[in-house]
Amino acid sequence: MTTSFTQEFNWIRLQMPLVQKALEKLPRLDGVRLACSVHLEIKMVQMFEALMERGAELFLTTCNPKTVRDDVIEYLSKKGASTHAWFDMSPADYSSGFERALDWEPTHLCEMGADLTYTLTRNSDRAKNSKIKASLEATGSGITRLGQLTPPYPIFNWDDVPIKEGLHNRHMVGLTAWHAFLSRTGLTLHGKRVSVIGFGLVGRGVADIARAYGGTVSIVEKDVSRSLEAKYGGWEVKTLNEAILESDVIVTATGVSNIIQSEHFPMMKNGVILMNVGHQAREIDTSSLLLHSHREIIPFIREVDLGHKRIYLFAEGSMANLVAGCGDSFNSFDIILAVMISGISHIVGAGSKTSPGVYLLPKAVWEPFVASN
């Protein structure tokens, strides 16, 4: 590996002492075949390396081709992981990664977005014959998706664990998405009207930091109680169409596909910037948008020419904080990754003896892993 990869990796390890402690508590993992569909970024490397050192076999595929680091894949392949992921892989290659991961016959899954479970349950024979004992799911989008599936194994939801929601969703996404926005565009939000669509924990963090960066911020939220909460918090609450008409920057944070649709593009202001922080890259209908003539004018900014106006798409409509930025700070991710490691300890142990269904990762599982923070 290059010196810079090693130096970056060593620096990250130094900043994540809680993860080191959590890794020391991992049991032996001989016989565990763990298939992962996750963001394959450098902060995850220390965990994967330790899992293999404990005897686990790994199959790594991604939940987002735009967040894969090829040097991470190269490093982990050399250490013995099976991989099917590379930066910006095509949609067909991306989907075939889920098939390949399941053909590899995993005993456990670690997911961000439930793609492996979705792929498995579409084929009833494969689901019936699966050797999977338990799974771990990290995202709100994945948990929503699992609500429509009947997986034949227990799945532990750690997205809704308070420490993950409270730190990562609430504070880190907004901070790091706007940091990426400023560093890539050279713009703050002073004098700009910003609309945040979705007032979950992620949307709240995005709205707070947009205000700190100088924006005049409005909220669009379809849930009545959340929209009232936004009003009580002093935010202007708008309908989607009102927001579309007047915004200079629009951010989606819902976890739902096609929030911004083709009919909205002609209504937008000339020069509007569109950004997404939701898990899927489909919150903005980029397929319709990119039917118009377009070009990348600077890295991470695509200019779309609608003839009478221009629309700017940030980070291809994929998760701005991870695709155009560095994701969570190392000190914050230290806690989040320690929770994830506790989840892996659980699914290879007591968790695998639970009946099929979706469960919140118990507090007794993750609390000791982060207690020394």
Ligand X SMILES: NC(=O)c1ccc[n+]([C@@H]2O[C@H](COP(=O)([O-])OP(=O)(O)OC[C@H]3O[C@@H](n4cnc5c(N)ncnc54)[C@H](O)[C@@H]3O)[C@@H](O)[C@H]2O)c1
Is 102 a binding residue for ligand X by CB under 6 A? The answer is no
Q: Give 259 or 365: the residue with its C-beta nearer to ligand X.
A: 259
**Is residue 197 at the binding interface for ligand X, with CB under 6 A as the rule?**
yes
Sheet holding 33-38, edge to edge: 82-84, 57-62, 33-38, 108-111, 134-137, 154-157, 357-360
d(CA 316, CA 276): 9
Q: Is 282 in the site for ligand X (CB under 6 A)?
A: no
The per-residue b/e assignment along 183-206, b for 16 or more CB within 10 angstroms, e otherwise, is: ebbeeebeebbbbbbbbbbbbbbb
Alpha-carbon span 121 to 149, nearest angstrom: 7
Q: Is 199 in the site for ligand X (CB under 6 A)?
A: yes
Q: Is 314 helix (H, G, I), strand (E, B) or coil?
A: strand
How far is Cα 325 from Cα 365, in angstroms, rounded to an integer? 31
Question: Cβ 232 to ligand X, closest distance in Å?
Answer: 15
CB atoms within 10 A of CB 371: 10
Tell me: does residue 154 bind ligand X (CB under 6 A): no
Contact present, 189 and 214 (Cβ < 8 Å): yes
Binding to ligand X by residue 281, rule CB under 6 A?
no
Q: Is 326 in the site for ligand X (CB under 6 A)?
A: no
Query: In the set 19, 45, 319, 358, which binds ligand X (CB under 6 A)?
Result: 319
- By CB under 6 A, tell whether 201 contacts ligand X: yes
CB atoms within 10 A of CB 266: 12
Residue 322 in contact with ligand X, rule: CB under 6 A: yes
Considering beta carbons, is residue 130 or 280 the nearer one to ligand X? 280
Does the protein bind ligand X through residue 141 (CB under 6 A)? yes
Q: Which of 65, 106, 140, 325 binds ligand X (CB under 6 A)?
A: 140
Name the residue with tokens 């968790």: 351
Q: Indicate which single residue of 173, 250, 281, 365 sits in contact with ligand X (rule: CB under 6 A).
A: 173
Rounded least distance, CB 1 to ligand X, Å = 26
259 touches ligand X by CB under 6 A: yes
Q: Which residues bind ligand X (CB under 6 A)?
A: 139-141, 168-169, 173, 197-203, 220-223, 226, 253-256, 259, 277-279, 319, 321-322
